[in-house]
Structure 1
Amino acid sequence: MIRTLLLLLLTLLIAVTASLHLGVHIYGPATVWQALFGGADGSSEIIIRTLRLPRTLNAILTGAALSLSGLFMQAVTRNPLAEPGLLGVNAGAAFAVACGLVLLGVVSIAGIGLLAIAGALAAAALVFGLSGALGPAAGPTGILLVGVTVTAMLASLTQLFLLIDETALETLLFWLSGGFADRPLALLWIGLGALFIAFIGAAALATSIDALQLDDQSASGIGVDVARTRLSALTLSALLSAGAVAMSGPVAFLGLIAPHITRRLMPMRPGFLALALLAMLTGAIIAVLADILARLIVAPGEAPIGAVLAFVGVPFLIHLLRAKRMRGVNV
């Protein structure tokens, strides 16, 4: 555990260092140091201090938040394919942003971020309410089925709004593509707050979530309130996803792949709290590396972060589906 933690911290430090140095223009260590600590105001210093540093911090927080969100979902639903988008969070955020653009004329990134948070949390609350109406007979995967249904409905409504006002399409597409660049620093405090609350929640729920890895009946037999634990964990997952969506827009696959990569780094399965800490670091590393690739692969342009992550996420998802099929287990 300690060895893996140190390895991940070192890898994150290397990734952050590379992020500050690499891009359309590659800067040396002396230039980066002068930009961060020398207070100079040259063009290179401005690029490093006002563009690369904020987007790197954004990538760290978004990656950590989505990874922990996915870990919560996979743990309490016992479904390895669960990820934040299945709660309807991304679709709810997109619908709220579309409403804001068409009905209220909101075009600022900060305004879009606040609309995204409201829409994400409202969609998650709708999913929780509908799944609760199904009762315990729906099982741990019932909420995922409800989430897929709500996601499809909200996506259709979003398309309808865009047909009503096509001028909003360009702004919405910029936000829907996801990314870590050109985002207000003030939104990072939202993500940081969500991450802090969720990690405290992970510490409080860790023992109960570990018990849920058996089955609901066994967990109930040792005194775990299964329904309360699951609802609390999924609420924290929704909060993390809303914070990430506000910071960076919808970023796909991070919440799916980071928890699985983290588990594969451990020779023995740790408790949920230790796994949560390692997953946050893993998600941050993946996000920073993906952001570096987005700058380089189509330079001097920049690839959408979602497209970069899809190159890893889609094959990984296919691998998980094949593994589940070979074991004869339903997802």
Structure 2
Amino acid sequence: MAALRRHRPAVLLGLALLVLLAALASVMIGARTVPPAGVWSALLAPSGTEEDIVVRSLRLPRTAFGLLAGTALGVAGALAQGHTRNPLADPGLLGVTQGAAFAMVLGIFTLGVTGMGTYIWFGFAGALVASVLVFVLGGAGRGGATPLTLALAGAAVTAGLHGLVAGLVLLDRQAMDTYRFWQAGALAGRDAGLLAGLLPFVLLGLLLALLNAPGLNALALGEDVARSLGHRIWLTRAVGIAAITLLTGAAVAACGALAFLGLIVPHLARALSGPDHRWLLPFSALLGAALLLAADVTGRLVARPGELEVGIMLALIGGPFFIALVRRRKPVRL
């Protein structure tokens, strides 16, 4: 690992190639395998064949959603662990996922929203409101927002919203059906038109994350040291929470609650890049995209001609990883 860290640009390039291979596999593999020549023809010179329709209408949007959600959740997970100083943290710890779920269910229950293109924006708005609430509650004390108060506020908001969601879905059959499908987490069946609407939020979140990296490095040395270096703690926290909200809100609103991805990816990235967030965040982005696409392709292979949803595959991968992480004799310190 030390040797890999000394050659981080080369490793980063290797991860980019891995993402490219995972995207190619995502376009080629499914209930019907499309050879590379068929994929090339569908992308550059479509002629309306069945393979062209499969590649352009079904698999390309699915792959694009995987790239977007994997990148966003990987970076959001690294930010969440950095700001809470908790190696077991993921974006859901800050209430973002349950905020999205509550707003979507509330929109369906009260307004009768049915189209994905409509209720997905309810989910994104709910994620924003929940994260702001967590930040306000976590910073209400004399010491302001700290890793401990943010984690406690996030846990409290998540628990409260989970109870409200459970109550609403029991009262409305349509809300239950939509929530159950969304909760499983999937890349298939998403409207390709949503990508253009969500992409600006993800790009803004990635930009804020990169701007947040130097402040996170300083916070890792302690808040007193960070202040002595000229960093404004409240501003660093606010930028980080905004980035987590934008990235996680866009990903979970579009693809559902993809559990464990934000937990696993930062640990894998940290092993390759080291603790410097200026490197950790790009590594997490590429690993998140590669892992999500690989899990989605694996779900298509293990249950052919059907498939397992990518959220189920991530749970099968993430559960053992989480147990191994908890049982380590020397836990990771952040």
Equivalence for 1:306 = 311
Q: Which residue of 2 aligns with 1:244?
A: 251
Percent identical pairs in the alignment equals: 39
Residues 234, 137 of structure 1: alpha-carbon distance in 2 compared, 3 angstrom cutoff: closer
Letter in 1 for 2:234: A
- Report if aligned partners of 1:59, 1:287 keep a CA contact under 8 Å in 2: yes
Distance 1:179 1:7 in 2: 27
State the distance in 2 between where 1:231 and 1:137 align: 11
What is the match of residue 317 of structure 1? 322
Residues 1:79 and 1:64: Cα distance change in structure 2 (over 3 Å) = same
Question: Residues 81 and 88 of structure 2 are in contact (CA less than 8 Å); yes or no, is this contact kept in structure 1?
Answer: yes
SS at structure 2 position matched to 1:26? coil
CA distance in 2, matches of 1:19, 1:328: 35
What whole-Å deviation, never above 9, does each CA across 1:131-157 have from its counterpart, x for those lacking one? 111342773122111111111111111
CA distance in 1, matches of 2:54, 2:325: 40
Q: Which runs of 5+ in 1 are unaligned?
A: none
**Residue matched to 1:296:** 301
Partner of 1:199: 206
> What amino acid is aligned across from residue 217 of structure 1 in structure 2?
D
Q: Give the counterpart letter for 2:290 in structure 1.
A: I
RMSD over aligned CA atoms reads 1.8
Give the letter aligned to residue 301 of structure 2. Answer: L
Name the SS of the counterpart of 1:223 in structure 2. Answer: coil
Name the CA distance, whole Å, in 1 between partners of 2:144 and 2:40: 59
Q: Write out aligned runs for 1:159-308 (5 A).
A: 159-266=166-273, 269=274, 271-308=276-313
CA separation of 1:32 and 1:137: change in aligned 2, threshold 3 A = closer
Match of 2:86 in 1: 79
| TM-aligned CA deviation for residue 189 of structure 1 | 2.7
Query: Which whole-Å deviations, capped at 9, do the CAs of 1:169-225 have from their partners, x for residues lacking one?
Result: 212211221111111223223442123212222332222211111111111122211
How far 1:270 moved relative to its partner?
A: 6.0
Task: Extract unaligned runs of 5+ from structure 2.
Answer: 1-7
1:284-317 CA distances to partner (integer Å, 9 max, x unpaired)?
0001101111222122222121110012211111
- What TM-score does the superposition give when structure 2 sets the normalisation length? 0.93
Residue type of the partner of 1:315? P
Q: CA deviation at 1:260?
A: 0.9
CA distance in 1, matches of 2:53, 2:223: 54
Amino acid at match of 1:282: L
Query: How many positions carry a matched residue from both structures?
Result: 327
* 1:14 is the counterpart of 2:27: no
Correspondence 1:132 to 2:154:
no
Which among 322, 325, 330 is matched to residue 327 of structure 1? 330
Distance of 1:86 and 1:250 partners within structure 2: 12
Secondary structure, aligned partner of 2:125: helix
- Which of 95, 104, 108 is the equivalent residue of 1:88? 95
Q: Does the 8 Å contact 2:139/2:149 carry over to 1?
A: no
Q: Distance in 2 between matches of 1:292 and 1:26?
A: 12
| Aligned amino acid, residue 13 of structure 2 | L
Range with greater deviation from structure 2 (20-29 or 131-140): 131-140
Q: Give the 4+ runs in structure 1 shifted more than 3 A.
A: 327-331
**Within the alignment, does 1:68 sit opposite 2:75 as a pair?**
yes
